[in-house]
């Protein structure tokens, strides 16, 4: 694999990793399982384990970090921003849920950071951050056509599955068109930097969005004609060329999911409250 040819962006990247060889059905079910478990639990033993495992799986994809670095940095910023505003609007939230009050330091009379609130913010932030690596794993290792075949295999009507496949293929093209149009307009003197006023920048953005919309409409017409020529929608079912049958790795993944679920249920039964608080 020549990593020099891999560009920054969220789309399928073929690296030949073990995760690429899993069935799209397995990865889709794993993604749903991961989101559900992350949102339901407040046990940091589970959340922390999922976060570490998600990062390890992301490394296992063999996709260079530079491909998804902007999205990772943005996600970290969003999580920190969210935790900050939780503290601003409800600085006693951790004390309410966990109970107790161990003061670490005081900013003002109202804004006193306690160990309970800090643990609460860490838990909530990690919950959302845990989902991000698995979302990247799913997007970077699942081919759009294979994903559509997986949805169809799960009983989703093939018209919906095919539409999802087209959307996943189309979004990277829209992003590429936006960058190309932006560079073209900047070469013509359209300024999008802070050197001009906000009103001027907003007006200049329309010089990018209008060509982008027109380009998208042209592509939509081409796609519609191609689908019509292929007889899309005339039959109730269709066959899928890229569907991947279950293999040993898929069954192993299902077994690990069941084992992790059993561990979660056991740890949940040992909790007296909603949160696991080790202090």
Indicate if the pLDDT at residue 240 is higher than 50: yes
CA proximity to 274, closest of 47, 21, 4, 9: 47
Find all residues with CB under 8 Å of 125, minimum gap 6, and list them. 79, 80, 82, 83
Determine the average pLDDT of the residues in 54-77. Answer: 89
Whether the CB-CB separation of 73 and 132 falls below 8 Å is answered with no
3-state secondary structure of 65: helix
Where would I find the beta strands (DSSP E) of the chain?
103-106, 112-114
Q: So what's the pLDDT on residue 3?
A: 44
Q: So what's the pLDDT on residue 160?
A: 76
Kindly tell me the burial class for residue 171, based on how many C-beta atoms sit within 10 Å of its own C-beta (0-12, 13-18, 19 or more).
Answer: middle
Q: So what's the pLDDT on residue 34?
A: 92
Q: How far is residue 129's CA from residue 126's CA, in Å, rounded to a whole number?
A: 5
Q: How far is residue 21's CA from residue 84's CA, in Å, rounded to a whole number?
A: 40
Q: Among 38-42, 98-102, 169-173, whose mean pLDDT is lowest?
A: 169-173
Indicate if the pLDDT at residue 2 is higher than 70: no
Provide the percentage of residues in the chain whose pLDDT is more than 70: 90
Whether the CB-CB separation of 119 and 277 falls below 8 Å is answered with yes
Q: So what's the pLDDT on residue 9?
A: 56
Phi, psi at 106, each rounded to 5° = -115, 135
Indicate if the pLDDT at residue 258 is higher than 90: yes
Q: So what's the pLDDT on residue 5?
A: 45
CA proximity to 19, closest of 8, 9, 31: 31
The model's pLDDT over 195-213, given as tens digits with 9 standing for 90+, comes to 777 777 777 777 777 887 8
Three-state SS annotation for 89-105: HCCCHHHHHHCCCCEEE
The model's pLDDT over 12-25, given as tens digits with 9 standing for 90+, comes to 888 888 898 888 88
Most confident by average pLDDT, 97-101, 168-172, 234-238: 97-101
The model's pLDDT over 111-163, given as tens digits with 9 standing for 90+, comes to 888 888 888 889 989 988 999 999 899 888 888 777 777 777 777 777 777 77
């Amino acid at each position: 694999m020549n990593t020099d040819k891999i560009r920054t962006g969220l789309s399928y990247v073929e690296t030949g990793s073990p995760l690429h060889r899993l069935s799209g059905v397995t990865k889709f079910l794993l993604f749903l399982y991961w989101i559900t478990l992350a949102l339901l639990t407040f046990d940091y033993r589970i959340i922390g384990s999922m976060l570490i495992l998600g990062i390890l799986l992301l490394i296992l994809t063999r996709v260079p970090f530079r491909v998804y670095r902007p999205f990772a940095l943005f996600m970290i910023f969003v999580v920190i921003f969210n935790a900050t505003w939780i503290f601003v609007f409800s600085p006693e939230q951790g004390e309410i849920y966990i109970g107790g009050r161990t003061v670490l330091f005081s900013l003002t009379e109202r804004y006193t950071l306690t160990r309970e609130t800090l643990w609460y913010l860490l838990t909530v932030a990690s919950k959302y951050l845990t989902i991000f690596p698995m979302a990247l794993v799913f997007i970077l290792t699942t081919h759009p056509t294979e994903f559509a075949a997986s949805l169809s295999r799960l009983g989703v009507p093939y018209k919906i599955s095919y539409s999802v496949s087209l959307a996943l293929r189309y979004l990277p093209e829209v992003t590429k068109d936006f960058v190309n149009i932006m560079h073209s307009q900047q070469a013509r003197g359209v300024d999008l930097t802070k050197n001009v006023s906000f009103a001027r920048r907003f007006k200049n953005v329309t010089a990018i969005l209008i060509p982008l919309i027109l380009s998208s409409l042209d592509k939509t017409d081409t796609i519609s004609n191609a689908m019509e020529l292929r007889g899309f929608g005339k039959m109730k079912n269709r066959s899928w060329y890229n569907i991947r049958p279950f293999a040993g790795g898929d069954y192993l993944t299902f077994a690990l999911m069941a084992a992790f679920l059993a561990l979660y249920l056991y740890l949940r039964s040992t909790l007296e409250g909603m949160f696991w608080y080790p202090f």
